[in-house]
Amino acid sequence: MADAGMEHKLRPEGIGWRVGASIFSFFAAIIAVILWLFFYAGSYNAYQNLAIIVVIFLAFVAVMGAVWASWGLKQRNWWHGQIHGSHLAALDTGGSIP
In a domain, 64, yes or no: yes
The DSSP output letter for 12 is: P
pTM, entire model: 0.67
User: Using an 8 Å Cβ cutoff, are 87 and 97 in contact?
Assistant: yes
Average pLDDT along the chain: 81
In a domain, 59, yes or no: yes
Query: CA 21 to CA 43: how far, in whole Å?
Result: 32
In a domain, 77, yes or no: yes
Query: What pLDDT does 60 receive?
Result: 98
The secondary structure of the chain in percent helix, strand, coil, rounded to multiples of 5, reads 85, 0, 15
What's the number of domains the chain is made of? 1
Q: Which domain holds residue 45?
A: 14-92
In a domain, 88, yes or no: yes
Query: What pLDDT does 52 receive?
Result: 96
**37-70: pLDDT as tens digits:** 999 999 999 999 999 999 999 999 999 999 999 8
In a domain, 23, yes or no: yes
Determine which of 6-10, 22-26, 44-48, 82-86 has the lowest per-residue pLDDT on average. 6-10
In a domain, 3, yes or no: no
In a domain, 97, yes or no: no
